[in-house]
A = this chain, B = another copy of it.
Amino acid sequence: MQSLRVALGERTYPIHVGAEILGDASLYEPHLRGRRAAIVTNAVVAPLYLGRLRSVLSAIDASVLEITVEDGERAKRWETLDAIVGAMLKARCDRSTVVLALGGGVIGDLAGFAAAVYQRGVSFIQIPTTLLAQVDSSVGGKTGINHALGKNMIGAFHQPLAVIADVGALGTLPNRELRAGLAEVIKHALVLDTTLFAWLEAHIEALLGRDPQALTHAVMRSCELKAQVVAADEREAGRRAILNFGHTFGHAIEAGVGYGTWLHGEAVAAGMVMAAELSARAGALDPAVVARLRTLLARAGLPVEGPALAPERYLELMAIDKKAAAGRIRFVTLEAIGHAVLRDDLDAATVRATIGGCSSATAAPR
């Protein structure tokens, strides 16, 4: 097991990464001994890991409330949040209760937001069981639910007490979700670290083969990189926005084809190609880097072009995105591997041409 600390002053917390650590009582004990735990999980994850978590909690004398919600992005809505709050109120959970988010990114976002707003805020622990959640949502404190008019439009910044990322849990992850998680690892390397990017080029097969050591390194290094950025800009006022590389296009893809058709990581993969291509067309990036990115994503089994929607539709979808400042679309562009910058001076024609050149996929990823 390896550990790192996300440095956020009084909100500093540890991330533990390793194989089969979900059942390690010593990781829960400092936060939970004698307290009430409310586990939020879903119908897919519960049969796999809930029993093990329940045992370890009862071993440290925590009383346990279990709340199981439906699987999938659709759970990130008000009705589910209301049901979680209702279950906690019925069980008379007070402000000393700790919420445990056991599952992927949806569960982390939803349970984290429930913790952020339950009686104006209780503590929570992330136990991410997907690669995407381990490398992305476990660092940064973003929580929230969707609105009919946009994803993650209702939420809060709420930091966990701890993150327990068990790479052993990735053994049960469908291939497609593993690949989608790798998209975020590749993103962290692309915008922040040439060494990790080269390591990924050398170890992509080991990762796809779920080698625990390779996964531990990828998750650990990815979290470290993201943690440095988040520590410098907790509320996403500036630099943190570079982590959204590929996301402006990615969100447009997800919304344009209907949420759930493309996985978030798949949309980010194609979105990264588009953002890199935009950087190259703007003269900021060597086209050889775009080619290297395409090759790595393709080896990881990820899409390298967006769905065949009209460029105008892409632009329309991007304008309502919450990263749009004062009506302009702000893009994260790349100048080299490990070096991303924020720009809002790109002309619409270049953006439109980039979309036209990178959006011919007629089938959804499988």
In the complex, A153 has a CB within 8 A of chain B: yes
Which residues of chain B have C-beta atoms less than 8 A from A156's C-beta? 116-117, 120-121, 156
In the complex, A90 has a CB within 8 A of chain B: yes
Query: Per a CB cutoff under 8 Å, which of B117, B144, B326 touches A154?
Result: B117
Oligomer: number of copies:
2
- How many angstroms from the CA of A148 to the CA of B87 in the assembled complex? 11
Query: Per a CB cutoff under 8 Å, which of B82, B96, B149, B150 touches A326?
Result: B96
In the complex, A86 has a CB within 8 A of chain B: yes
Q: Let me know if B94 and A157 touch, CB within 8 A.
A: no
CB distance from A33 to the nearest CB of B (A): 14
- In the complex, residue of chain B having the shortest beta-carbon distance to the beta carbon of A81: B154
- How many angstroms from the CA of A42 to the CA of B322 in the assembled complex? 27
CB distance from A152 to the nearest CB of B (A): 8
Q: Let me know if B322 and A94 touch, CB within 8 A.
A: yes
Residues A176-228 near B (CB distance < 8 A): none
- How many angstroms from the CA of A99 to the CA of B95 in the assembled complex? 28
CB distance from A4 to the nearest CB of B (A): 24
Query: Per a CB cutoff under 8 Å, which of B78, B89, B117 touches A320?
Result: B89
In the complex, A12 has a CB within 8 A of chain B: no
Given contacts A85-B149, A94-B326, A95-B322, 10 further A-B contacts (CB under 8 A): A78-B78, A78-B82, A86-B147, A86-B148, A92-B319, A92-B324, A120-B144, A120-B152, A120-B157, A156-B156
